[in-house]
Structure 1
Amino acid sequence: MKQLFFSCFALILIISCNQGPTRYTQNSPEIDTVKNLIANYDAKNYDTSMYADSSQTQYNSSKTMTAAETMDFHRQSDANYSSRGFVTEDQEYEMVLTDDGETWVNCWLEWQGTLAANGKKVKIPIHLTYRFTSGKIVREYGYWDPTEVVLTLQQLAAEAKMAEEENAEE
Structure 2
Amino acid sequence: MKNSIIILVLLFSIISCQKTETRYTQQSPEIDSFKKSIEAYEKADWATMKSFYADSAKIEHNVTKDKAVSVDKLIEISKEDATLFSNIDFIDSESEYEMVVTDDGETWVNFWGDWKGTLKATGEEYILPCAITAQFVNGKIVREVGFWNTAKIALDLQKLSAASTVVDSTTTR
Specify the TM-score bucket, using the shorter chain as the normaliser.
Answer: over 0.9
Using the alignment, how far apart are the partners of 1:85 and 1:143 within structure 2?
Answer: 16
Using the alignment, how far apart are the partners of 1:117 and 1:67 within structure 2?
Answer: 28
Using the alignment, how far apart are the partners of 2:78 and 2:62 within structure 1?
Answer: 14
Residue in structure 2 matched with residue 107 of structure 1 by the alignment = 111
Alignment partner of 2:41: what SS? helix
Residue in structure 2 matched with residue 25 of structure 1 by the alignment = 25
Using the alignment, how far apart are the partners of 2:151 and 2:94 within structure 1?
Answer: 23
TM-score, normalising length from structure 1? 0.93
Alignment partner of 2:153: what SS? helix
Residue in structure 2 matched with residue 130 of structure 1 by the alignment = 134
Map of 1:34-113 to 2, 5 A cutoff? 34-47=34-47, 48-62=50-64, 63-113=67-117
Residue in structure 1 matched with residue 10 of structure 2 by the alignment = 10
Report the CA distance between 1:53 and its aligned residue.
1.6
Name the aligned partner's letter for residue 88 of structure 1. D
Q: Which runs of 5+ in 1 are unaligned?
A: none
Richer in helix (by share): 2
TM-score, normalising length from structure 2? 0.92
Alignment partner of 2:136: what SS? strand
The superposition leaves residues 110-133 of structure 1 with CA deviations (integer Å, 9 ceiling, x where unpaired) of: 111111111111111111110000
Q: How many residues align?
A: 169
The superposition leaves residues 13-51 of structure 1 with CA deviations (integer Å, 9 ceiling, x where unpaired) of: 422443421111111000000110011011100121111
Aligned residue among 148, 157, 169 for 1:153 = 157
Q: Which runs of 5+ in 2 are unaligned?
A: none
